[in-house]
Amino acid sequence: MPDPVPAPEVAHLWQALESDGPLVGILMGSESDREVMQKGADELEERGITFEMQALSAHRDPRGVAEYASTAALRGLRVIIAGAGKAAALPGVVAAYTELPVIGVPIKTSDLGGMDSLLSIVQMPPGVPVACMAINGARNAAIFAAKILAQGPPAAAEM
Ligand code: RP5
């Protein structure tokens, strides 16, 4: 299978393409995360920010995650919000495959109360940042995404 990661020298150009598609992608590791992540979707809806939302697991469908993240900018997305619980790899894996800002939402869990999710998301290695929200902080993730979008599209000179 060919490497889905765009070459660094062209990846930034994708962000310059015009698109009528959604600006924010909301991912979650499982359908069981939807109730929490819906609060983020509701916040974006109230603000009139277009988004798409789907369950995609870094562990159960790693190729799907790689394809989603590596084509996200080309499709016009500007920010990705990723919620996951337990060994919450999703936000970090998404960040590994895109230059877009990634906002992670640790989902509260029954076994460890969400500390597992929080530590999995927040402890990213240098060079691959994820903006980690509070446990179940999907609404803040949406507000943070709105703040990023409010900065406007990247100027051509910055790309
Ligand atoms: C994580 O495992 C998901 O993000 C979810 O929070 C948790 C449990 O997933 P399910 O077993 O309910 O699908 O990957």
> How many angstroms separate the alpha carbon of residue 112 from the centre of ligand 1?
13
Per-residue pLDDT tens over the stretch 73-117: 999 999 999 999 999 999 999 999 999 999 999 999 999 999 999
| C-beta 70 within 6 A of ligand 1 | no
Nearest Cα residue to 56 out of 79, 76, 37, 75? 37
Task: Return the residue whose CA atom lies nearest to atom 9 of ligand 1.
Answer: 30
Please provide the average confidence, as pLDDT, over all residues in the chain: 91
Q: What pLDDT score was predicted for residue 157?
A: 47
CA distance linking residue 18 with residue 2, whole number of Å: 26
Cα–Cα nearest to 108, from 35, 42, 21, 59: 35
d(CA 38, CA 44): 10
pLDDT (tens digit per residue) in 115-128: 999 999 999 999 99
With a CB cutoff of 8 Å and minimum separation 6, the contacts of 97 are 4, 5, 65, 66, 69, 70
20: tokens are 């009528």
Q: From the CB of 82, is ligand 1 less than 6 Å away?
A: no
